[in-house]
Amino acid sequence: MNSLMQEILYLEVPTPHLDQVRSWLQQSWQLSSLNKPSPNKLITPDGIRLQFSSTYSEELSIFVWQLQRTTYLKIFLWNSGEQKKSLPKNVISQLKNLLVKDIRAAFPPNYPAPPKIDLTKQSIFEALEADYPQTVKYFQKFPNGEYDLNRVYWWEQRWRESVNKPQTPKEVIFRKNDSLETKPDYDLIYIGGALGVIHAAVMAEKGYRVLLIERLPFGRMNREWNISRDEFQSLISLGLFTPAEFENVIAAEYVDGFNKFFDANNPEHLKANVLHTPKVLNIAIASEKLLKFCGEKLLAAGGTIWDETEFIKAEIAENGVSLDLVDLSTKEQKQATGRLLMDAMGTASPIAWQLNGKRTFDSVCPTVGAVIEGIAPEVWDQQYGDVLNSHGDISRGRQLIWELFPAGNNELTFYLFHYHQVHPENPGSLLEMYEDFFTILPEYRRCDMEQLVFKKATFGYIPGHFSSSQSDRVVAFDRILAIGDAASLQSPLIFTGFGSLVRNLDRLTTLLDTALKHELLTTKHLGQIRAYQSNISVTWLFSKGMMVPTGQVLPPQRINSMLNTFFGLLEEQPPEIADTFIKDRTDWWMFTRLALIAARKNPALLWWIWQMAGSISLLTWLGSYWAFTLDAVRKSLFIGWLPGWLKESRSWLEAKYPALWLKLLSFSYQLQYSAGRK
């Protein structure tokens, strides 16, 4: 920077209305309360200049600009170089403080909610066009745009209702004092056909009678999936896929994946090189093909699929569970009975909300995107992906992050998301995110929006739960077990519920098979069938540190500075370190060493996280770190002999003490996963 120029202030004004901010600055902002010397305000194309008397060699330039549908402001002190007096520091400080106070009052944080609409009187396009013009424009270009936009609106409304009324969640689980009159029709009933069908197919092939219930036409997905070859291997090892079948569901495979965060406003020591992760999420799965394949496997193994069927309630009896359902195509009431109900309904699951109340989720990633064709090769080479990327600083209280993956057939899958605190005043909006997506896509990639072909909308709320121990979240009830997003099973860094489920599938299905064989279907026993990992629990603090607390306005570059600290550190390590860390395989020593290096590189890091996460979260994290440390100690004591001993003792231990066998098996898995499973 020129020595005659000095940056005094950089802040975000959380509004997309640049003209209003510029007009306020030029016309409405009053400087009469400033102490002398008082400046003259001169209008410039992008803001104002403040000139003081001719005895001073310095003046102030204040200007605004727009990026990511938000407004940013900077103040620069400019020195003419003449031999005159410098502005008193208290004058500059007073002016800066006055501007911050006044502009915060004029443009406070704002969290708009979608309008209430009546689709009996107008289409979804007509209802939303005034508030979300770009979203309406481009959803009309999708093959199923009207249906999908209705889904976006429905999902946001349901999510908002759940967040706004956490004290009184809708009751959908009821106790039944007597037994079912007849033997249950099924061993397992899965509600939710996305992640649910993968788990269901494995259990059906183990010989269980399985019913899968899906609210949508089966096989439709509003999200795409990416994974790596070594992670997908678990499905091959379980026998659900052969290697040849796996190759058949691969839509694309890229050569390298990039991780880069905007650092133009970061100090030099917090800038970072691109982190290359060639084996992270580098396989694009043809999700609808995979769902169809798993559905066929499920049916071939004797399973049943009821799609376009909505779950209403469940009654828990001594010998099974009875479900009340509605066939959405005929509006007819239906019933089904099973030994065990599997909740795979995702973030909107009414069962998860009833079981956990306020602690259902601690955070969420509102995520929107699209599968798009027509991106020119000079804009993006389809051999590469963006695993995590930001092209700007905090935008209207969110650090927006992009993902971009090749999807095959000259298509690319784009996602835009942010880490978000669950708050009743600010639940997180899919529609606001979509308006951002369609507006700022050309900022992220230099594309001509009119030349693009929009193939499919991808969207959803991906939940997060900050687990301090294995038992602090309810994933089970008598004859009910949650999996996938309904159980907050996902990675805190890349939020891939699909990848997390696949990584834990052997663990979950083996434990569930044991519980079913021995009728260990109470809350106590099913609660041991969970995918808690203490090494994931400790990384949750970082994701909490990437959420702007509702009502607060942070320095715009803060979260990018934190991300560049972590990912710059990983870039300096051997490639296998980043691969291990991002895939939730970190052991105690690796995590502790990286945390100490990060603290030395950026001493303000802990203070920043404390500001954003709060004292309670920090204390909770210390408990999680202690649990992680204990798991590392237990692993060193038990992992060398316990799995082998369990294998040798199974023939008598499982038959004689089935509950103890389930507990020991669960403990063995916990050690393998929590303390750094390779």
pLDDT band at 358 (very low <50, low <70, confident <90, very high): low
Domains 5-106 and 124-164+363-464 share a fold: no
* Strand, helix or coil for residue 476: strand
Which single residue is written with the structure tokens 């599997």?
342
Concatenated DSSP letters of 357-412: GGGS-SEEEEEEEEEEE---TTT--TTEEEEEE-SSS-BTTB--EEEEEEEETTEE
pLDDT of res. 471: 62
Residue 465 has pLDDT above 70, yes or no: no
Please count the other Cβ atoms lying within 10 Å of the Cβ belonging to residue 423.
Answer: 15
pLDDT of res. 585: 82
Segment 611-635 shows an average pLDDT of 84
From 547, 534, 572, 587, select the one nearest 361 (Cα to Cα): 547
Contact 308, 255 (CB under 8 A): no
pLDDT of res. 2: 46
pLDDT of res. 83: 75
Contact 557, 10 (CB under 8 A): yes
Of residues 386 and 194, more confidence is placed in 386
> What percent of the chain clears pLDDT 70, i.e. is strictly above it?
93
Phi, psi of 368 (to 5 degrees): -130, 165
> What percent of the chain clears pLDDT 90, i.e. is strictly above it?
60
pLDDT of res. 538: 79
Render pLDDT for 17-37 as a digit per residue (tens, 0 to 9). Answer: 999 999 999 999 998 777 777
Residue 59 has pLDDT above 70, yes or no: yes
Say if domain 124-164+363-464 classifies as CATH 3.40.50: no
pLDDT of res. 468: 61
pLDDT of res. 261: 96
**Range name among 41-45, 201-205, 211-215, 233-237 with the lowest pLDDT average:** 233-237
| Beta-strand relationship, 363-373 and 173-175 | unpaired
The CATH superfamily assigned to 5-106 is Alpha-D-phosphohexomutase, C-terminal domain (3.30.310.50)
**Range name among 33-42, 150-159, 583-592 with the lowest pLDDT average:** 33-42
Segment 561-583 shows an average pLDDT of 91
d(CA 170, CA 167): 10
Residue 1 has pLDDT above 50, yes or no: no
Residues near 37 by Cβ (< 8 Å), separated by ≥ 6? Answer: 52, 53, 56, 87, 91
Mean pLDDT of the chain: 89
Residue 14 has pLDDT above 90, yes or no: yes
pLDDT of res. 497: 66
- H-helix or E-strand spanning residue 226: strand 225-227
Contact 46, 64 (CB under 8 A): yes
Segment 354-372 shows an average pLDDT of 82
- CA distances to 256, 291, 548 from 553, in Å: 36, 42, 7
Would you kindly state where each structural domain of the chain is located, as residue ranges?
5-106, 124-164+363-464, 171-224+287-359+466-532, 533-678
Render pLDDT for 246-268 as a digit per residue (tens, 0 to 9). Answer: 999 999 999 999 999 999 999 99
What's 171-224+287-359+466-532's CATH class? alpha beta
Of residues 2 and 465, more confidence is placed in 465
Which single residue is written with the structure tokens 């439709």?
220
d(CA 250, CA 349): 29
pLDDT of res. 168: 66
Tokens of 120: 């009996």
pTM over 0.85: yes
pLDDT of res. 260: 95
Residue 629 has pLDDT above 70, yes or no: yes
Q: In what order do the strands lie in the sheet with 47-51?
A: 5-13, 70-79, 58-67, 47-51, 40-44
